[in-house]
Amino acid sequence: MTKLSLPRLGYGAANVGNLYRALSDDEAAEVLEVAWDCGIRYFDTAPHYGLGLSERRLGAFLATKPRDEFVISTKVGRLLRPNPVGVGTTDLDNDFVVPGDTRREWDFSRDGIRRSLDESLGRLGLDRVDVLFLHDPERHDLCAGLDTAIPALAGLRDEGAVTAVGVGSMSTDALLASVSTGALDLLMVAGRLTLADQPALAEVVPECRRLGVGIVNASVFNSGLLATDDPGSTARFDYGGVSAELLERVRAIAVTCREFGVDLPTAALHYASRDGSVASVVVASSRPAQVRENAARVAGAVPEGLWPELVARGLIPA
């Protein structure tokens, strides 16, 4: 299996695909330029993000940078096709502020996986990507993902079309089944190995250790709950609302962090990379200031005594 070295911090490019709010081309380019200026050299995108807008914007930006200085990943599983009935609508059902004249079409076949890669390369303006993830297989057909799509990904890697392959998901069941195939280099764990929620610790992380599969830890703020030092009842958790019980626990975590001189987002970023299986932490941001703050937080230090204190208070698992 191919080994690929990933930078410690990556930029998740859903926001430049107009996730939640529209960015102009200039605003998106500024966010990406600030990420580069902060030393970020790993960028993750997907056709799903803004119906191709994220890939197009990211590709236009990276065309100004030396190809050997960055790592890029994109995803397969959803092809983009014309949607005449969506003309004049917006893709708000998927949380992207983009025209709805394109639709997503699931395709886990070998030909579909290759077409998806080729079409992504066209939008990105690149002749290769470094990492290819199967995106959310449980939302379509996990069995087809395991039996057809993952072998197709492995075939692309083995022929040299990509350097590494993996699966990205928020489902621990899908992540565990995928990594257990033994065919993957990486696993993108989205929101399941965070300071607020750690179900991946039970089986997914040990299986990654056993098989030598690296983890790309994504959605480490759980859609916003951990992104501020004082989360309120309107905070998002995994693209939805937050329960009163979870909010109370996260607020208690924040109080403990402050006792150690650390804000909640900084602790969240450092917690996300504590396990030795984590190869990179990917963080999304829609504003240049957020990118700078997150890069500074990752570069800073957190007192080691914080973690056992959180365990002792029953706020995170041992």
Q: Is the pLDDT of residue 165 over 60?
A: yes
DSSP string, 227-251: SSSS--TT--BTTB---HHHHHHHH
Per the listing, tokens 């995170």 go with 316
pLDDT tens column, 9-52: 999 999 999 999 999 999 999 999 999 999 999 999 999 999 99
Per the listing, tokens 């072998």 go with 151
Q: What is the CATH number of domain 9-224+279-301?
A: 3.20.20.100
**Marked catalytic residue, from 11, 42, 49, 271:** 49
Helix, strand or coil, per DSSP, at residue 202? coil
Least reliable range by pLDDT among 88-92, 232-236, 250-254: 232-236
Measured distance CA(277)–CA(12) in Å, rounded: 19
Q: Is the pLDDT of residue 187 over 90?
A: yes
Question: CB-side exposure of 115: number of CA atoms within 13 Å?
Answer: 13
Q: For strand 42-44 and strand 71-76, is the pairing parallel, antiparallel, or unpaired?
A: parallel
Measured distance CA(306)–CA(117) in Å, rounded: 43
Helix, strand or coil, per DSSP, at residue 298? helix
Helix, strand or coil, per DSSP, at residue 101? coil
The answer to whether residues 151 and 112 touch, using CB atoms and an 8 Å cutoff, is no
* Predicted pLDDT of residue 223: 86
Q: Is the pLDDT of residue 1 over 60?
A: no
| 42 catalytic per annotation | no
Cβ neighbours for 230, distance < 8 A, ≥ 6 positions apart: 251, 254, 264
| Sign of the CA dihedral with 248 first, then 249, 254, and 257 last | positive
pTM: 0.96
Measured distance CA(67)–CA(3) in Å, rounded: 19
Per the listing, tokens 């790309």 go with 216
Residues linked to residue 90 through DSSP beta bridges, in sequence order: 99
Domain positions in the chain: 9-224+279-301
Measured distance CA(302)–CA(291) in Å, rounded: 19
Measured distance CA(314)–CA(318) in Å, rounded: 9
